[in-house]
A and B are shown apart, each in its own frame.
Chain A
Amino acid sequence: MAFSALGRRAVLVSAAGWRLLFAVILAGLLFRLLATTPYFATALVVAAAIGLLLIDVIGLAGRSRDAVVPAANAESRARAQQLELALGLLDAVTIALFVLAPDGRINFANRAGRLLAGREAGGLQDVDCLQGEAAAEILALPVGGRQLLTLGDGRSILVWVGAFSTPGGGPQRLVSLQAVAGELDAVQVGAWHAMTRVLAHEMMNSLTPIVSLSESLMRLAGTGTPVDASAALETIARQSRHLMSFVERYRIIADLPAPDLAPIDLAAFLGDIDALAGADLRARGIGFSTLLQTDAETVEADADLLRQAVMNLVRNAAEAVAGKDDAEIRLACVADGGGVRFEVADNGIGVAADRLEEIFVPFFTTREGGAGIGLTLARQVALAHGGQLLAHRNPVSGMTFVLATGAQGQRP
């Protein structure tokens, strides 16, 4: 429709143009006629002709606006087919797509979107399953924002907000809603199992001496035999404190603050890390270098959280290379899509391939007395920034941890 109207407009201009040209010539003739001779009757006829021409032009313009175009030409037919194909594709997508006007009205919805909306919904807040806070949360999301929402009926959906504009249409927002129930449940249950195993193991091991020693002390106290209980009590106290610090650590990762985003000067950031860790590492015979490998000067991030995360990675690397002769840790900041990624590479003992995911499980540690939350925290910081933290085994030796901050410029 839109395409054939365009083609029609070109014909209209030329038709009206001819008529106007003719009217102007007649007007010139009329002027000449009245200025030189008093032929009023002829002048009246000429003036009437001009009037009819103008009425014709106005009529033509009006007709072409309302008229249904009959036979479209071959080009516009092909375009119509393309459009239909595109719309068919959108309808075949199982993700619900909504195009929202700046005021929140739904301009377009694909089939999955229409099914989700259930009835003719004017805006997202009219969609039944998004009643309450869900619609408001989606509308509040910035362009480029991703969020996992749990609906009133318990379903989980992944929301993504994009932006696009059509010529003359102004900016519009594209909202995609993807049901992730099955996948998410499996991931959640898996993560939950992994953490429960680590927790149970840690807590039961700590409780073992506490339970046994307490029972022994009770038995000894009952017999009235003099006994040096101090060593047993000391162990009970130490293991109890260990359990307490364990719960404290749990609080640290459960209460990670939301990132407070601000532009960070990347060179200064790397300098900070060097100042915090470099001297100590070099004193321990570990080579440490930082490298800025991006044109970007700044990145939008929470400086405190990011510093903490990168420091955790450097600290882990230091543990991995401890005792090695040519121990070396390299920290690089590399351009990554719209953002940057921090790569911490070491040539240490590495992580077995079958343990690559386990190392991110909260409280998992291979270090005697290790807390097991450094990598968990770093990954949470990365995720909070819309990025991710991955571990790769280096070809020769050691590990590279890659912390990506996520695409930039899409957040507010």
Chain B
Amino acid sequence: MDCLAAILIVDDKPDVHQAIRLALEPHVARIDSTLSPDEVDTMVGAARYDCVLLDMNFAAGERSGREGLDALARIRAIDPEVAILFMTAFGAVSLAVESLKRGADDFLLKPWRNDALVAAVRAAAARTAAARQGATLDGMERLAIDRALDRNDGNIARTAASLGVSRPALYRRMAKHGL
């Protein structure tokens, strides 16, 4: 398996950094880490990461995930393409769903199994790579259909005509893309 170039860990616990480093050592060439979400801006701005592993809470007693969601928004603003993996302890699933809505790519439940961690990081890195290379064929198709639908105010017959496909073919493709 190929080795990933670089990932970033944002978590307030050094023990978690240590654990992720040891687990991802064979899979990632460079692992950066920071204990404070405040440093995220500069680090994401300075390097092109394959994936960011982001914790939800940083102050003791804090379980709202507010700091994590703030950092998520800042990372998205600086690097819209990097995949962000939210890390959350058991019992904060509703928060994890919220993070997905706000632009996280996936979330990882603590404590994780190393296999799951590696798989999640690789999947995230693949999404980052796809985003950085520009749209995939599927993505382009989806975008084209979406725009045509917009242009024709959601009228299927006119959309199909403008795209040069039959209506059943358009329905099939819309179902495939979840439109």
Q: Is A210 an interface residue (CB 8 A)?
A: yes
Which of A197, A215, A364, A369 has its CB near the most chain B CB atoms (within 10 A)?
Answer: A215
Distance in Å from the Cβ of A377 to the closest Cβ of chain B?
17
Residue of B nearest to A193 (CB): B91
Please report whether the interface of chain A is mostly helix, strand, loop or mixed according to DSSP.
helix
Q: Are B60 and A365 in contact (CB under 8 A)?
A: yes
Distance in Å from the Cβ of B124 to the closest Cβ of chain A?
17
Distance of A238 Cα from B15 Cα, bound (Å): 10
Distance of A205 Cα from B112 Cα, bound (Å): 10
Q: Are B22 and A205 in contact (CB under 8 A)?
A: no
Distance of A213 Cα from B19 Cα, bound (Å): 5
Q: Is B151 an interface residue (CB 8 A)?
A: no
Distance of A217 Cα from B18 Cα, bound (Å): 12
Residue of A nearest to B14 (CB): A235
Q: Which residues of A contact B22 (CB under 8 A)?
A: 212-213, 216-217, 232
Q: Which residues of A contact B66 (CB under 8 A)?
A: none
Q: Is A207 an interface residue (CB 8 A)?
A: yes
Distance of A370 Cα from B59 Cα, bound (Å): 12
Given the interface pairs A200-B89, A216-B114, the reply to whether A208 lies near B19 with Cβ below 8 Å is: yes
Distance in Å from the Cβ of B68 to the closest Cβ of chain A?
14
Q: Are A209 and B18 in contact (CB under 8 A)?
A: yes
Q: Is A255 an interface residue (CB 8 A)?
A: no
Give a binary string over A363-386; 1 marks a CB under 8 Å from any B CB, 0 the rest: 011111110100000000000000
Give a binary string over B10-25; 1 marks a CB under 8 Å from any A CB, 0 the rest: 0001011011101101
Distance in Å from the Cβ of B165 to the closest Cβ of chain A?
49
Q: Are B90 and A204 in contact (CB under 8 A)?
A: yes
CB within 8 A of B91: which of A197, A208, A235, A372? A197
Residue of B nearest to A227 (CB): B22
Q: Are A211 and B60 in contact (CB under 8 A)?
A: no
Q: Which residues of A contact B90 (CB under 8 A)?
A: 200-201, 204
Number of residues from A at the complex interface, CB < 8 A: 30
Give a binary string over A190-222; 1 marks a CB under 8 Å from any B CB, 0 the rest: 000000110011001101111111011101000
Q: Which residues of A contact B114 (CB under 8 A)?
A: 212, 215-216, 219
Q: Are B15 and A209 in contact (CB under 8 A)?
A: yes
Q: Are A205 and B89 in contact (CB under 8 A)?
A: yes
Q: Is B176 an interface residue (CB 8 A)?
A: no
Residue of B nearest to A364 (CB): B61
Given the interface pairs A205-B110, A216-B114, the reply to whether A366 lies near B61 with Cβ below 8 Å is: yes
Residue of B nearest to A235 (CB): B15
Distance of A368 Cα from B90 Cα, bound (Å): 20
Q: Is B111 an interface residue (CB 8 A)?
A: yes
Q: Are B20 and A212 in contact (CB under 8 A)?
A: yes
Distance in Å from the Cβ of A357 to the closest Cβ of chain B?
13
Distance in Å from the Cβ of B91 to the closest Cβ of chain A?
5
Distance of A204 Cα from B87 Cα, bound (Å): 12
Q: Which residues of B contact A368 (CB under 8 A)?
A: 60
Q: Are A212 and B112 in contact (CB under 8 A)?
A: yes
Distance in Å from the Cβ of A204 to the closest Cβ of chain B?
4
Q: Is B113 an interface residue (CB 8 A)?
A: yes
Q: Which residues of A contact B13 (CB under 8 A)?
A: 205, 209
Residue of A nearest to B25 (CB): A216
Q: Is A312 an interface residue (CB 8 A)?
A: no
Give a binary string over A249-289; 1 marks a CB under 8 Å from any B CB, 0 the rest: 00000000000000000000000000000000000000000
Given the interface pairs A204-B111, A231-B18, A365-B60, the reply to whether A212 lies near B23 with Cβ below 8 Å is: yes
Residue of B nearest to A354 (CB): B64
CB within 8 A of B19: which of A201, A209, A366, A372? A209
Q: Which residues of A contact B89 (CB under 8 A)?
A: 200-201, 204-205, 208
Q: Is B117 an interface residue (CB 8 A)?
A: yes
Q: Which residues of A contact B19 (CB under 8 A)?
A: 208-209, 212-213, 216, 232, 235
Q: Which residues of B contact A316 (CB under 8 A)?
A: none
Residue of B nearest to A361 (CB): B61
CB within 8 A of B113: which of A211, A217, A372? A211
Distance of A366 Cα from B16 Cα, bound (Å): 20
Residue of A nearest to B11 (CB): A208
Distance in Å from the Cβ of A302 to the closest Cβ of chain B?
30
Give a binary string over B97-116; 1 marks a CB under 8 Å from any A CB, 0 the rest: 00000000000001111100
Which of B13, B18, B22, B110 has its CB near the most chain A CB atoms (within 10 A)?
Answer: B22
A residues within 8 Å of B by Cβ? 196-197, 200-201, 204-205, 207-213, 215-217, 219, 231-232, 235, 238-239, 364-370, 372
* CB pairs A–B below 8 angstroms (23 shown): A197-B63, A200-B91, A201-B63, A201-B89, A201-B92, A204-B89, A204-B110, A207-B111, A208-B15, A208-B16, A208-B89, A208-B112, A209-B13, A209-B15, A209-B16, A210-B111, A212-B111, A212-B117, A213-B18, A215-B113, A365-B60, A366-B62, A372-B61
Q: Which 3 A-B pairs have the closest CB atoms?
A: A366-B61, A212-B19, A209-B15
Q: Apart from A204-B89, A205-B13, what are 13 other A-B pairs with CB-CB below 8 Å?
A: A208-B16, A208-B19, A209-B15, A212-B112, A212-B114, A213-B19, A213-B22, A217-B22, A219-B114, A235-B15, A365-B60, A368-B60, A370-B61
